[in-house]
Amino acid sequence: MGDTPVLRLVEITKRFPHVVANDRVSLELLPGEIHALLGENGAGKSTLVKIAYGFYQADSGEIYVHGKKVDISSPRDARRLGIGLVFQGFTLIPALTVAENVALFLAELPWVVRPRDLHRALREASRRYGLELDPATPVWQLSVGEQQRVELLKLLLANARILIFDEPTKVLVPHEVENLFRVFQGLREDGYSLIFITHKLREALTCADRITVMRQGRVVGTVRPGETSEEALLHMMFGERLGEVVRAAGREPGEPILELRGVCTKPVGTAPGLADVDLVVRAGEIVGVAGVSGNGQRELGDAILGLLRITRGKKLFLGEDATRWPPRRLIQKGVAFVPEDPLAMAVVPWFSVLENLGLLDPRRFSRLGGLGLDWAGVRAHLQAGFARLGLNPLPEQARAATLSGGNLQRLVLVRELSRPYHLVVGLYPTRGLDVRSANAVRQALLAAREEGKGVLLISEDLNELFSLSDRIVVMLRGRLVGEFRPEAANLTEVGRCMTGAGVGHA
């Protein structure tokens, strides 16, 4: 195993209208290494790997594979050179089976495909790396994690030796992430070279042999995990010191804002319904909801927002019976909502920032009973909102779809939290965000608590829950199975409770 890099990108520059995505970026991937590409959203990581895969063409710069200069002008070229990329959004056809999806990808397949050979090859590869996939399963039946494995199998069977993953952990739950990293290790032992993109420090530190940090389209540096620290990496990612999220000391919470009494909902699909959920959120407190995702957290949020029918039990909002209120009434009475994936759940992608803001609060900006809209008012409100939350204003006319995840979430925060409200429901509000944006969200939730609002924070990130919450409840299969005070509990206890290993107590 020589030390010639298997892949070398030299001085790659790529401009898009209005933005330089990659500015003279160089990167070396050594044989048999796992290389993490770390940076916040919009740092240019994705663009760089797409250039290596021939999906984009660089404006200038050179690419070397095994020391030889190559010209990659399409994914086909990249594949011929043994480079494979797993995209963020997968490229599978749901109606076809695993084997059929893989077969579609293999260029050198003969006219008549012999399923038996293909199935055998697939089984072997999937067994070798512990992927546990049945080639005959239709893809639509697979979980997101399993679909990712199909994407990986495609690359393996196409004889790719350089494997690139664009934010592979974004769509995975924690235990799936661990599995994926085990697969990575196995691949490395077999001599594959891997690049994976992430914006999570810990993933880079636990899994990678080397870490290259990017910021605003440039490489800041390449380090080894043993020779660096979280602190140093954060500094590389953001340049400046980040404000710490600090929760003020606990006060006595005030009046109950939201009360759920024995709330049940019908299960939908494979998701569990809520079963006898009792929960109180008081003014000036943050109640954290912990749990492995898919245990009824989304249903809890939807039941509170009035999107999911409560079949039994009662919901009180500010002491009024709100069990049957439609979403609009709850919003008008003062429920704010910050979801996980704003592009899908909170904004209209091709609306401008201004239009998306105008959507809230039907009465406030409406003129002539809906025939008009007070756009100047919306604009003023938007600016005031950004100022109030201490955020940099976004361009008013920019379309939501062109904003980064972090900026989108800022837009949602401004929309939801700059009007009179009493309760904020956060449904994985920091999922998929870079550290700085996630901190902006956390800061906003803490500010809401300071102002005496009630906050319900549904999250998977135990560190986040411990640093923000006054109380933590744990959901398991649609039930609340434990309640903790962060100062009196530790991560392991809550973690055990989340996996059903034991019932916790306050």
Chain contacts with another protein (rule: CB under 8 A): 17-18, 305-307, 326-332, 337, 339, 344-351, 355, 358-360, 362, 365-367, 370-373, 375, 397-399, 402
The residue among 66 and 399 lying less far from another protein, judged by its C-beta, is 399
Residues 72, 75, 78, 84, CA torsion sign: positive
CB of 471 within 8 A of CB of 465?
Answer: no
The residue among 43 and 476 lying less far from another protein, judged by its C-beta, is 43
Q: CB of residue 347 vs another protein: minimum separation in angstroms? A: 6
Q: Which residue in 329, 332, 265 sits closest to 302, CA to CA?
A: 265
CB of 209 within 8 A of CB of 224?
Answer: yes
The residue among 258 and 489 lying less far from another protein, judged by its C-beta, is 258
Q: Which two tokens stand for residue 395?
A: 């361009």
CB of 412 within 8 A of CB of 346?
Answer: yes
Q: CB of residue 366 vs another protein: minimum separation in angstroms? A: 4
Q: CB of residue 342 vs another protein: minimum separation in angstroms? A: 8
Instruction: Determine the residue type at 287.
Output: V
Neighbours of 443 (CB within 10 A): 18
The residue among 31 and 406 lying less far from another protein, judged by its C-beta, is 406
The residue among 104 and 205 lying less far from another protein, judged by its C-beta, is 104
Q: Which two tokens stand for residue 314?
A: 């009662």
The residue among 154 and 298 lying less far from another protein, judged by its C-beta, is 298
The residue among 63 and 330 lying less far from another protein, judged by its C-beta, is 330
Q: CB of residue 408 vs another protein: minimum separation in angstroms? A: 11
Report DSSP state, residue 352: B
Please tell me whether residue 227 adopts helix, strand or coil conformation.
Answer: helix
* Cα radius of gyration (the chain): 25
C-alpha–C-alpha distance, residues 358 and 352, integer Å: 10
CB of 441 within 8 A of CB of 409?
Answer: yes
Q: CB of residue 74 vs another protein: minimum separation in angstroms? A: 12
Q: CB of residue 402 vs another protein: minimum separation in angstroms? A: 7
C-alpha–C-alpha distance, residues 118 and 103, integer Å: 8
Q: CB of residue 432 vs another protein: minimum separation in angstroms? A: 16
